[in-house]
Structure 1
Amino acid sequence: MDEKILIIIPAYNEEKSILKVYEGILNYNKENGTNYDVIVINDGSIDNTKRICQQNNIPVINLVQNLGIGGAVQTGYKYAYENSYDYAIQYDGDGQHEIACAKDILDPLRNNEADICVGSRFIDKNSSEFKSSVARRIGIRIISDLIKLTTGKRVYDVTSGFRAANKKIIEQFACAYPLEYPEPVTNAELLKKGFKVREVPVQMHEREAGQSSIHTWKNAYFMINIFLSIVVVMFRREK
């Protein structure tokens, strides 16, 4: 039986890039014989994201209000779980991710080497020209050090939103997913629970449009809250 693979694209005010991102996936499917399904989670956008999706027959779930990145991504995982997908790929709607690298983050799952695979800019110096700002990279390194300290294992690109998950993780995330700082928190949580987390090098691009959910003026607040969130995960008792 063919694999069922879903690409989850959370989108908030991505009117300038969402059609290009979707068409890029369709073109890749045609050229490479892949059959990646797509679901866009329109997270209460106040621009023309909803209209563009509807006019171009882009599969979309329109949230009635903005839930934030965590709520939008979890909606995608719920959809994947309810529709019995074998694998789900998180994929940004701003043009940062490279669809040709989807196979690279899927392969460790197919080979049973990982339950979740993170597409990383930092484990291979030559894999991605885009590395983010110096300040952001310093923050990522600090979070990576914290996860290593608390779990004994390192994830280098802790905020990467380009991840592939197998059925076990799809079910986990459909049931519970953090609303804030979801990537670093779930990386730590999955390592604590004994799931296999793998990182592979991928190509990423600078965002084509829109604005990051992590703004410069929020960096100190962002770091403190991630630190506290990961500490809470480490000391939380499993039910």
Structure 2
Amino acid sequence: MPMPDDDPQELRLLAIVPAYNEEGMIGRVVRDINRNAPDFSVLVVDDGSLDSTVAQAEAEGAIVLRHPFNLGIGGAMQSGYKYALAHGYDVAVQVDGDGQHKPEYLPEMLEALRTGTNEADMVYGTRFRGDPGYKVPIGRRVGNMIFSIVLTAITRQKITDPTSGFRMVNRRGIELFARDYPHDYPEVEAILMLHNNRLRIHEVQVRMNARGFGRSSIDYPRAAYYMVKVMLALFVGLLRRRPDAFEGTPPPSTGDFPAVEAGAEGGGSA
């Protein structure tokens, strides 16, 4: 299903910003999206933060969904995709609340999603087709390389940065991820889901920032767990029969969502 040929201003565009205790960066992230991609509405999914993340997001005019407790990045993103599906958005993009993803690339990613040679259902930003923009720790580079080799073999297309969360999907991608989304370190598994459902993937070179505030939640024990868990998930995914081309799912009821706390729908600041 190719993207409509409509002007981007006629498409309903949503930036989903998962955030957990990101009071030091969330306001800047929302402002950067509004400045660089004003046609995108901004939805902050607060994943049980204990600081002033919600207040900072509200102050910048973002729509806010609140989880009563922390569900992890996968749970936060699935809430965002469910919101996008229920509210009729055509495109949704993940922009992490820690400031690593640069909203200046959103117009380029949208253009690739709309005009990609393979009618892409997802476009993601890769750090590893050029200068990544910051020094990526060696452990992450090695892990990413392993996943890249495995997914490239599975999908039969070059996947250079499978751990990148900077990804944009069309309506079919929204429908798939609203129905089912990996909850524990989801990026790699989500690519396999797209492949298993015959959705197409395209990548564009981006530069990213080093984390702007706080520290990563992935330490060495979690990194080891991540590698084992994701490799097992990929193995299980390979055993599943590929279905016919994904046809989408009916919109979920609005009762599936946390309450909308603040902000107005529409691009730019309120």
TM-score over 0.5 (shorter chain): yes
Point out the structure with the larger helix share.
Answer: 1
- Runs of at least 5 residues in structure 2 that lack an aligned partner in the other structure: 1-5, 244-270
Find out whether 1:132 has 2:157 as its counterpart. no
Match of 2:163, SS state, is coil
Residues 109 and 124, structure 2, Cα contact 8 Å, conserved in 1: yes
What residue is the counterpart of 1:115 in the other structure? Answer: 121
What residue is the counterpart of 2:18 in the other structure? Answer: 10
Matching residue within 154, 158, 165 for 2:158: 154
Distance 1:102 1:131 in 2: 22
Distance 1:163 1:51 in 2: 26
Matching residue within 223, 228, 231 for 1:224: 228
Distance 1:238 1:143 in 2: 20
Distance 1:199 1:238 in 2: 22
1:184, CA displacement in angstroms?
0.3
Distance 1:153 1:136 in 2: 21
Residues 125 and 205, structure 2, Cα contact 8 Å, conserved in 1: yes
Higher relative contact order (CA 8 A, sep 6+): 2
Matching residue within 206, 221, 225 for 1:202: 206
Q: Which stretch of structure 1 is more off in the superposition, 50-59 or 168-177?
A: 50-59
Runs of at least 4 residues off by over 3 Å: 54-57
What residue is the counterpart of 2:84 in the other structure? Answer: 80
CA RMSD of aligned residues (A): 1.6
What residue is the counterpart of 1:143 in the other structure? Answer: 147
Match of 1:213, SS state, is coil
Find out whether 1:168 has 2:172 as its counterpart. yes
Q: Which stretch of structure 1 is more off in the superposition, 207-216 or 78-87?
A: 207-216
What residue is the counterpart of 2:54 in the other structure? Answer: 50
Distance 1:41 1:70 in 2: 11
Matching residue within 185, 188, 191 for 2:189: 185
1:145, CA displacement in angstroms?
1.0
Distance 2:194 2:61 in 1: 35
Q: Report percent identity of matched pairs.
A: 39
User: In the superposition, relative to structure 1, how do residues 146 and 131 fare at CA in structure 2: closer, same or farther (>3 Å)?
Assistant: farther
- Runs of at least 5 residues in structure 1 that lack an aligned partner in the other structure: none
Distance 1:109 1:27 in 2: 21
Q: Which amino acid aligns with 2:173?
A: I
Q: Which amino acid aligns with 1:14?
A: E
Q: Which amino acid aligns with 1:15?
A: E
Residues 104 and 202, structure 1, Cα contact 8 Å, conserved in 2: no
Distance 2:170 2:41 in 1: 15
1:203, CA displacement in angstroms?
1.7
Distance 1:109 1:188 in 2: 19
What residue is the counterpart of 2:217 in the other structure? Answer: 213
Find out whether 1:61 has 2:61 as its counterpart. no
Residues 119 and 199, structure 1, Cα contact 8 Å, conserved in 2: yes
Alignment length (residue pairs): 233
What residue is the counterpart of 2:97 in the other structure? Answer: 93
Distance 1:216 1:105 in 2: 32
1:237, CA displacement in angstroms?
3.6
What residue is the counterpart of 2:107 in the other structure? Answer: 103
Distance 2:16 2:60 in 1: 17
Distance 2:204 2:19 in 1: 24
